[in-house]
Structure 1
Amino acid sequence: MVRTPLTQEERERGERLGRLLREARGARSMAEVAAEADLSPETLRKIETGRAPTPALFTVAALARVLGLSLDELVVRCALVVA
Structure 2
Amino acid sequence: MGRQPLSKAEHARGVWLGQVLRAARGNRSGVEVAAVAGISVETLRKIEHGRVPTPAFFTVVAIARAVNLPIDALCAD
Q: Work out the CA distance in 2 between the residues paired with 1:28 and 1:15.
A: 20
Q: Does 1:2 align with 2:2?
A: yes
Q: Which runs of 4+ in 1 moved over 3 A?
A: none
> What's the counterpart of residue 73 of structure 2?
73
In the TM superposition, residue 70 of structure 1 has moved relative to its aligned partner by 1.4
Q: CA RMSD in A?
A: 0.8
TM-score by length of 2: 0.95
Structure 1 partner of 2:37? 37
Could you tell me which runs of 5 or more consecutive residues in structure 2 were left unpaired when the two chains were aligned.
none
Structure 1: any 5+ residue segments left out of the alignment? 78-83
> What number of residue pairs does the alignment pair up?
77
CA distance in 2, matches of 1:39, 1:12: 23
Q: Deviations over 1:59-80 (max 9, x none)?
A: 0010111111111211223xxx
User: What TM-score do you get using the length of structure 1 for normalisation?
Assistant: 0.88
